[in-house]
Amino acid sequence: MSSPLHGKQSAIVPLAFKKSQNPLPADPQGQRLCEIFGRYLWCSIYADAPEDASKPKWYTQRRYPLKNRILWREWQDAARLIGVRPGHDTVYALIDVDSSSPYHPNQDASAIARMQAGMETIGITRTILIRSSWSGGIHLYIPLEQAVKTFALAVSLQNCLEAQGFKLRPGDLEIFPNVKAYGTTQKIEYRAHRLPLQPGSGSCLLDDEFNPGSSQISDFLAQWDIATAGQDIATLQSALPIAQQNRHKKVRKRLNKAESWKTDLETVLAEGWTGAGQTNQLLKEFGCYGVVFLGLSGADLINYIHQQAISSPGYKKWCRHQREIEMRSRVWAAAVENYYWPLGSYSDIRQKAENDIVPFNKLRAQQAQASILAAVRQLEAVDQLPASATARAQAIRAAQMDAGVSSSSLETLYKVENKKLWHPDYDESNREELPVIVVASESVASEVESERKTLEPPKTGEFKELRTKGEIMKCIGCEAEDSSSAQTKFNSGRGVRGDGKSFPQTQERKLGNRENKPGVREPIMNNSQQQNRQDSKKTPYSTEPDQTMEAIRSKIRNLELDYGQITKIICQKFDGKRSYELFEEEKLMLLYHLNTLS
């Protein structure tokens, strides 16, 4: 059975140093140094050792990887500083506390101890304190017995320190390895750090009181072995994947819109009046705040708006409505209650509106199904439903056009839900088992019903064929027809077709009298439509219709309204009607409205 430390999902990797074509130095201490810090030697850094405690000027070697023996040679050179960076896996970590950092012992004597205690929660129980250089900065080394995934260790350290209240900032507090970005087009390296205890660099071991100690590499390696043996590697192994998962699940801070809105309102209202013409806006804001954030309504809301207004800064100086401020508070209270609702509740108006919404696509689909089904029933009633699918589809489209509705496209007809309504593969028995099409609204239901009536088989004498004569299309009078056909619904004696050599519509165009419009053909209507139109003209006020219309025309002339303007007024006041469609009482209402305009 394999050890859990070497499982597939583990972040722990074997410590064995890769012995490739990069041989180790002969010195045993040099070998140990290279085994720890020479695992990844690309992009190493170097600098000339400064003569004082100033910061060195670092350079990066990108042309080729450093050799182990060169690394050991450069480390021994007192005039040269050398540094490396972690690779894919690592056997150590490093916390860098700058001498000017708020977490340095000179500024906070307990900060390092808090870091060490916090890291024990993820299994890091042993650390090595060293002074990094003559500047006095501190490096806190974390030796590990086994190599771990570098990025997992970086995330774990960052989460651990931030949870203890430490803020990672370059120049103050840094961790190596750092949590770096993932490069999609080029590789992004981890940050590099200098090697410890280089001769002449000022680096040395520190005790628990931060007193300087030995600067020998042998003493450093001895403490390294003690620290690696004391780490809780099992706890660290379980903490690494958890830290990576938490990084992906980290909840980002989002702006609280309600709190922002409340803060904005409070800022606006705190200054009150600063000039004239601000009363209505401020009363509205007071009402909004009272309804949304205080949950006020009715008399309480009115009193709140009133009291807030009269106690606001600048009210007595700038408000020009002080005599009527209570009345205006009442008006704005009623207005905002119909527009806003308390925070955390749900508006009854909004709820009702959402319940009444019918998805547009669903409505169109229901209309299409109703139209297809009506066309099929019409063709079946007259025994003209073809047997083949192609011919049947064309017949359905033609029947829809004859009925005055949009014909369905072939794509619509062959949809699965529509195909069952007409295709020959579905016989009459199958079609009767289909679910009933429920129309979404009353308006759609009335349209479907009217389409069904229109598609009913024609009765004898109900429809007559109208053949347009070429002479009429060219506006040339035609010869009088036989008297037997002169009074049909297509030739009503009103001069539309014309029985003489010329058109008789020479009278002045009159509002509300469609028959007197020159050159306008009377719409073709069936018997039921003619009867409805005749019934619509019968009103209790039809005794003196000419007097009402004459008064309307007179008022239109006085107001100097043109035809387009009065047509627009009639459409707006009477739900899209035209003047000739008005009832007598509606004409009286129109006359009253024109009187109010004057």
> Tokens 């063709």 — which residue?
379
pLDDT-derived band at 527, boundaries 50, 70, 90:
low
**How far is residue 72 from each of residues 68, 75, 83, 487, measured CA to CA in Å?**
6, 5, 11, 120
Tokens standing for 553? 């025309």
Q: How many CA atoms lie within 13 A of 529 on its CB side?
A: 12
> CB count, 10 Å around CB of 232?
15
**Structural contact between residues 204 and 131, judged by C-beta atoms closer than 8 angstroms:** yes
Which tens digits make up the pLDDT trace of 409-449? 988 998 988 888 988 888 654 444 444 444 444 554 555 45
Encode pLDDT of 133-187 as tens digits: 999 999 999 999 999 999 999 999 999 999 999 999 998 999 999 999 888 788 8
Q: Count other C-beta atoms under 10 Å from residue 338's C-beta.
A: 10
Look at residue 598 in the predicted model and tell me its pLDDT.
66
User: What is the rounded CA–CA span in Å between residue 195 and residue 581?
Assistant: 97
Q: Which pairing describes strands 59-61 and 89-97: parallel, antiparallel, or unpaired?
A: unpaired
- Residues of the chain with pLDDT > 70, as a percent, come to 73
Q: Average the pLDDT over each of 110-119, 159-168, 549-558 and give the range with the smallest value.
A: 549-558
Residue 588 has pLDDT above 50, yes or no: yes
Give the model's pLDDT for residue 577. Answer: 81
The two tokens of residue 461 are 């004498």
Gap between the Cα atoms of 128 and 229, Å rounded: 13
pLDDT tens per residue, range 199-234: 999 999 999 999 999 999 999 999 999 999 999 999
Q: Is the peptide bond before 457 cis (omega within 30 degrees of 0)?
A: no
Q: What does the alpha-carbon distance between residue 78 and residue 75 come to, in Å, rounded to a whole number?
A: 8
- Angle, helices 360-381/442-454, rounded to nearest 10 degrees: 20
530: confidence class by pLDDT, cuts 50, 70, 90: low
Spell out a b/e string for 55-88, using b for 16 or more CB atoms within 10 Å of the CB, else e.
ebeeeeeeeeebbbbbbbebbbeeebbbbbbbbe
Q: Give the other-Cβ count within 10 Å of 508's Cβ.
A: 6
Arithmetic mean of pLDDT, 22-26: 91
Mean predicted confidence (pLDDT) in 91-104: 95
Q: Residue 447's pLDDT is what? A: 54
What would the 3-class secondary structure string for 122-190 be? HCCCCCEEEECCCCCCEEEEEEEEEEEEHHHHHHHHHHHHHHCCCCCECCCEEEECCCCCCCCCCCCCC
Q: Write down the residue that tokens 């705040």 correspond to.
A: 289
* Residue 354 banded pLDDT, cuts 50, 70, 90: low
